[in-house]
């Protein structure tokens, strides 16, 4: 027992406690924190939702969720764990139902001596977020002797205006540093590895700027189509589903300067500074020059086009693919494009970052061959990997260059040891560490940037490029890079490699 970590004391309340996310991710994550000893005796978990349910029924629901979704458990462990769970029926829209919840939170605070520490997790539809936050304050659920933290599921608004409105509502009850906006990509092991690779190695730390980097590429590609989620997807498209949130959050880690320290405050400051220099495109010309939107069509006759999917209108203009070029108007990134792309029904399911370095000016002599661009690749999904493409000498009689690849893959042991993003995010919130959460300034800038693109697309002022499913998107996506003498490092098999040096 000696190597157990110091235990965390709190009452954690889940709104939406009977929902899909709670069952699949949240309860198994809290269970893992319990198994690791972060939660021991002084904690209580409350589940709330509209329906009536006994504590016993709720405990059974949590037990099922752990048995279905946790990796490693014993009956005994689960039973001890779920003895800390309580349920209360609660309609978040009914102000009167906050009083009994308050009584329960206070009661459990006493019973488990949790020092007045409270986390409220809103795993409900986003339209309820503002109302819950305000009611927690007005109905006296916030503790005066411990901490109060609010975890907010996505999406955070659907435009800058709605995000700002939500932020205002949340700020009526909480300070910004008590808000933990979830973007589960920030909880991924390999996304967190960006900081380690960048700042932990002087040869990247010192070269992470326009003097050495030619371009940076971020790809979040899926092979699946809409899979019955057309209701939602047709209103969002790739731009709102993947770019506005996850892709932009990854960009934050890549574009930021080195923070003054590794504290969440300094990390946020450094990211915000980068976001404040993001060039916002205005009007159809700037948007069309820098962004490509696409929609898939079936490659074979048996495959559906996007506009033939159930629930999608034949004349839909929704983007199932986006590629774009971001520019940061600051000294560090002078002239360095950040290319992003995401889409459905693409050739490969992956989340990856490719950092393309410039070749050196050194002349190896006329016959040595051209130097290629060194490339650092960080693969986030579906498996963690770091690759480095370098120039080296070929084994030939005359001095000749060739590309070599260094490759590191996450081990099976690492995979087993890596906490789920939700586990990490809940743990970070318990520790008051906001490093891996979306900051309001970043979210606001991202929306301001995306809103301008949405405006052009909503008015249909930009071409909608069709692409065949199973490719890496429309040719216009490749051409976006070719205009700058660049090429995607990850090519689809529908195109030849454009630049022999890559």
Q: What is the set of active-site residues?
A: 246
What is the smallest separation between the CB atom of 336 and ligand NAD, expressed in angstroms?
A: 32
What is the smallest separation between the CB atom of 229 and ligand NAD, expressed in angstroms?
A: 11
What is the smallest separation between the CB atom of 283 and ligand NAD, expressed in angstroms?
A: 32
Burial label, 385 (beta-carbon count in 10 A; 0-12, 13-18, 19+): middle
Cβ proximity to ligand NAD: between 125 and 370 the closer is: 125
Angle at 321 between CA 315 and CA 323, to 5 degrees: 130
What is the smallest separation between the CB atom of 94 and ligand NAD, expressed in angstroms?
A: 8
The strand pair at 43-49 and 148-152 is best described as: unpaired
Cβ proximity to ligand NAD: between 14 and 488 the closer is: 14
What SS3 string covers 356-419? EECCCCCCCCCCCCCCCCCEEEEEEECCCEEEEEEEEECCCCCCCEEEEEEEEECCHHHHHHCC
* CA 52/CA 429 separation, integer angstroms: 29
Structure tokens belonging to residue 245 = 């949130």
Q: Check if the beta carbon of residue 253 is closer than 8 Å to that of residue 271.
A: yes
What SS3 string covers 15-46? ECCCCHHHHHHHHHHHHHHHHCCCCCCCEEEE
Cβ proximity to ligand NAD: between 158 and 491 the closer is: 158
Taking CB atoms, the residue at the shortest distance from ligand NAD is 19
For residue 325, give the nearest of 443, 479, 207, 177 by alpha carbon.
Answer: 479
Side-chain half-sphere exposure of 9, counting CA atoms within 13 A: 15
Supply the DSSP symbol for 223.
S
Cβ proximity to ligand NAD: between 336 and 425 the closer is: 425
Cβ proximity to ligand NAD: between 50 and 448 the closer is: 50
For residue 105, give the nearest of 135, 131, 77, 126 by alpha carbon.
Answer: 135
Q: Which residues bind ligand NAD (CB under 6 A)?
A: 16-22, 49-50, 90-93, 123-126, 153-154
Token pair 């689809």 is found at 492
Q: How many of the other CB atoms lie within 10 Å of CB of 58?
A: 22
Cβ proximity to ligand NAD: between 152 and 274 the closer is: 152
What is the smallest separation between the CB atom of 185 and ligand NAD, expressed in angstroms?
A: 11
The strand pair at 464-468 and 291-297 is best described as: parallel
What is the smallest separation between the CB atom of 29 and ligand NAD, expressed in angstroms?
A: 13
What is the smallest separation between the CB atom of 152 and ligand NAD, expressed in angstroms?
A: 9
Cβ proximity to ligand NAD: between 100 and 283 the closer is: 100
Handedness of CA 368, 372, 378, 384 (dihedral sign): negative
What is the smallest separation between the CB atom of 19 and ligand NAD, expressed in angstroms?
A: 2
Cβ proximity to ligand NAD: between 58 and 339 the closer is: 58
Angle at 75 between CA 53 and CA 81, to 5 degrees: 55
């Amino acid at each position: 027992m000696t190597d157990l970590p110091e235990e965390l004391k709190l009452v954690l309340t889940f709104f939406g406690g009977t929902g899909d996310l709670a069952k699949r991710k949240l309860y198994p994550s809290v269970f893992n924190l319990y198994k690791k000893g972060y939660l021991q005796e002084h904690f209580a978990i409350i589940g709330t939702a509209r329906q009536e349910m006994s504590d016993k029924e709720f405990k059974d629901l949590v037990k099922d969720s752990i048995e279905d979704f946790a990796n490693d458990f014993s009956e005994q462990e689960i039973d001890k764990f779920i003895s800390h769970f309580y349920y209360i029926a609660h309609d978040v829209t009914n102000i009167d139902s906050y009083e009994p919840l308050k009584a329960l939170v206070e009661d459990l605070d006493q019973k488990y001596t949790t020092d007045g520490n409270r986390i409220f997790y809103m795993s409900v539809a986003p339209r309820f977020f503002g109302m819950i936050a305000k009611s927690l304050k007005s109905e006296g659920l916030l503790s005066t002797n411990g901490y109060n933290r609010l975890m907010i599921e996505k999406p955070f608004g659907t435009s800058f205006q709605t995000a700002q409105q939500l932020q205002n509502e949340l700020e009526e009850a909480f300070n910004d540093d008590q808000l933990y906006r979830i973007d589960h990509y920030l909880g991924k092991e390999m996304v967190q590895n960006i900081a380690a690779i960048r700042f932990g190695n002087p040869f990247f730390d010192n070269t992470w700027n326009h003097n050495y980097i030619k371009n940076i590429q971020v790809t979040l590609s899926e092979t699946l189509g809409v899979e019955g989620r057309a209701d939602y997807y047709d209103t969002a498209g790739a731009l709102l589903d993947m770019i506005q949130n996850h892709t932009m959050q990854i960009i934050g880690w890549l574009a930021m300067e080195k923070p003054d320290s590794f504290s969440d405050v300094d990390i946020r400051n450094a990211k915000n500074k980068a976001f404040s220099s993001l060039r916002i495109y205005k009007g159809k010309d700037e948007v069309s020059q820098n962004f490509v939107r696409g929609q898939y069509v079936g490659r074979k006759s048996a495959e559906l086009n996007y506009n033939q999917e159930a629930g999608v209108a034949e004349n839909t203009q929704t983007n199932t693919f986006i590629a774009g070029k971001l520019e940061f108007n600051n000294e560090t990134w002078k002239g360095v494009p950040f290319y992003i792309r995401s889409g459905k029904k693409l050739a490969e399911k992956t989340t990856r970052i490719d950092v393309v370095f410039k070749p050196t000016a050194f002349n190896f002599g006329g016959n040595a061959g051209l130097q290629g661009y060194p490339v650092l690749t960080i693969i986030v999904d579906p498996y963690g990997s770091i690759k480095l493409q370098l120039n080296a000498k070929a084994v030939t009689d005359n001095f000749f260059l060739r590309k070599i690849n260094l490759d590191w893959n996450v081990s099976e042991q690492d995979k087993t040891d890596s906490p789920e993003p939700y586990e990490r995010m809940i743990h970070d919130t318990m520790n008051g560490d906001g490093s891996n959460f979306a900051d309001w300034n970043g979210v606001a800038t991202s929306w301001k940037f995306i809103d301008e693109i949405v405006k052009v697309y909503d008015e249909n002022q930009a071409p909608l490029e069709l692409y065949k499913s199973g490719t890496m998107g429309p040719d216009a996506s490749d051409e976006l890079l070719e205009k700058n003498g660049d090429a995607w490092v990850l090519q689809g098999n529908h195109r030849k490699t454009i630049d022999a040096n890559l």
